[in-house]
A and B are shown apart, each in its own frame.
Chain A
Amino acid sequence: MRLALGILTAIGGFLDVGALATAGSAGSRFGLSLVWALLLGTGCIILLLLQVGRLTAVSGRPYAAAIREHFGFKFFLLPLSVELLADSIMLAAELGGVAVALSLLTGISWHLLLPVGPLLVFALVWRGPFRLIENGPALLGLVTLCFVVGAVMVGVSSSSRLPDLLPARLGGSDVPDYLFLAAAILGAVISPYLVYFYSSGAREEHWTSRSLRTNALSAVGGMGFGCLTALAVIALAAMVLRPAHVQTGTLAELGLTLSAPWGRVGAVLFAVSLFVACYAAAVELTLAIPYVVSQGFGWEVGENHLPAQAPRFNLALICFVLVGTAVALIGIDPLQLTLYGSALTAVLLPVSLSPFLVLMNDRDALGRHTNGWLMNAATIGIIALAAVVAIVSLPLLIATGGA
């Protein structure tokens, strides 16, 4: 259970509605040739979580609170407002993903099932203690390991499919789509809300400087789990969908990948995995924003408190669920919503991440746990990468229409 925070965080970055569709699209169109983006993104998010976990454990301050204290409220407003806007859209997309999963299990139109997701999310986050919120979805999230088993089974049982894993030769018109998918994978994995949530989770768990081993285990183990599962989705899409010329324009196509080794059970497993992943990501988002808002404004924070003990935190939570639900009920395709949300997040990615360089070198707060030169160099590299993603995301989104 020491891994639970890492696994729950990873589900939001690697297995939510947008990440699943992006991984499926990458595999079905380009084989394994976009795996480099997934591995690079995983390395970056592990380094960021290791740092933010250390910051919270040693200084006792979560990331959002530390930004406000160091840079002032005016600076904090910029990432906060973008995060609010982008995460409202992302929450709506995850709620849509929950509805699509239920639709694949029941045959009922996902539009009719849209109200179910918000009710289930609210039921858990309103009174559930953080440990239950963390352990429940993290445990259920292990069902997504079926992608890993499925990929191995398809690869072993049909070696003729292995050549489909090879990188595709890019034609001229494929280049923008390839670059867009690379940026989308990087943007999904290096997402600021994962950093905010992980840091808030560390605070809820009362990490201290003695928790640094737990931090390392949680960050590396959790992100490793997410990366492995996303890698399996890419491989399955490459081996099953690519030879059949199927592209993942909706989420339903991905079920065909698991029905290849397991038949009807595989399709049901996919729908359950989609439900669990989108539900966990929705829970994570629903908590991340009230945490960021409360820490930014200096309000009392705590999922472990009764609503009356942290009224402003819980008010922010209710407002955020209502906004996300309202956006979801418009009925826009969840994948379309994630494209807009991710593009918005990507634009301000460097602003959200640049405080790392200052916060992680603050001797007053971190003592002997400040960054060494190697970690600082890696962080500069991540911020530079984030800047590239920020610059190219919107033009590529417009050029490709979302690939």
Chain B
Amino acid sequence: MRLLAPLIAAGALTMACGSADAQRTEAQAAGELAAAARTLEAYHQDRLTRPYAAGAFVNYEEQLRSLDTAPLPADLRARWLAARPAVRRPCLDAGCDWRGQVRALDGAANAFRSAGGG
């Protein structure tokens, strides 16, 4: 039992750290998805230039790329897959459904925020 106690404690600590890491990843993804939504919205409200929006999405895509391989619960994965096209190919031209992309990004941001304890 003496030998087991430190192992159990170490296991519990590892699980707690792992859980905190997952929460942090989800909270950071929520912040990034919300940023992408607000950037797309601001661009279509004529508050950002096209180069700025395009340059910003290069950064967002790099930050969110890790979600493809992150161990996510099924509901979060579904939300991410719905928002992913907006992150990879944001609608910066007239005639495409930018409002739909903003909704998908906001939906994913809210889901990740809830999962991250926000």
Contact = CB atoms under 8 A, between A and B. Distances in A.
Interface string A212-256: 000000000000000000000000000000001111111111011
A246 B54 CA distance: 18
B46 interface: yes
Contacts of B32: 247, 249-250
Contacts of B60: 250, 252
A104 interface: yes
A242 to B, nearest CB: 10
B56 A245 contact: no
A207 B56 CA distance: 44
Interface in A372-392: none
A265 to B, nearest CB: 9
Interface stretch (A106-114, A121-129, A132-140): A106-114
A271 B49 CA distance: 11
A105 B46 CA distance: 16
Contacts of A244: 34, 38
B46 A263 contact: yes
Interface string B8-51: 00000000000011011001101110110011001000111111
A100 interface: yes
B56 A250 contact: yes
A261 to B, nearest CB: 10
A248 B39 CA distance: 13
A146 to B, nearest CB: 15
A354 interface: no
B118 A103 contact: no
A171 B118 CA distance: 10
Nearest to A104: B55
Contacts of A253: 35, 39, 56
Contacts of B50: 107
A363 interface: no
Interface string B73-101: 00000000000000000000000000000
Contact of B55 (A103, A177, A249, A400): A103
A156 to B, nearest CB: 19
Interface of B: 20-21, 23-24, 27-28, 30-32, 34-35, 38-39, 42, 46-56, 58-60, 62-63, 109, 113, 117-118
Q: Mostly helix, strand, loop or mixed at chain A's interface?
A: helix
A158 to B, nearest CB: 15
Nearest to A244: B38
Q: Mostly helix, strand, loop or mixed at chain B's interface?
A: helix
A208 interface: no
Residue of B21, B28, B55, B56 with most partner-chain A CB within 10 A: B55
B63 A107 contact: no
B52 A271 contact: yes
A110 B59 contact: yes
A173 B25 CA distance: 13
Given A100-B59, A250-B56, A107 B31 contact: no
A338 to B, nearest CB: 15
A249 B31 contact: yes
Nearest to B62: A333
B24 A268 contact: no
Residue of B32, B46, B52, B63 with most partner-chain A CB within 10 A: B52
A245 B34 contact: yes
A105 B63 CA distance: 20
A253 B46 CA distance: 16
A256 B30 contact: no
Residue of A251, A264, A266 with most partner-chain B CB within 10 A: A264
Interface in A291-339: 333
A264 B46 CA distance: 7
A401 interface: yes
A209 interface: no
B39 A256 contact: yes
Given A28-B31, A264-B47, 18 more contacts: A104-B55, A107-B50, A107-B51, A107-B53, A107-B55, A173-B20, A173-B24, A177-B24, A244-B38, A245-B109, A247-B35, A252-B39, A256-B42, A256-B48, A263-B46, A264-B49, A267-B49, A271-B52
A333 B42 CA distance: 25
A259 interface: yes
Given A256-B42, A267-B47, A401-B24, A104 B35 contact: no
Contacts of A250: 32, 35, 56, 59-60, 62-63
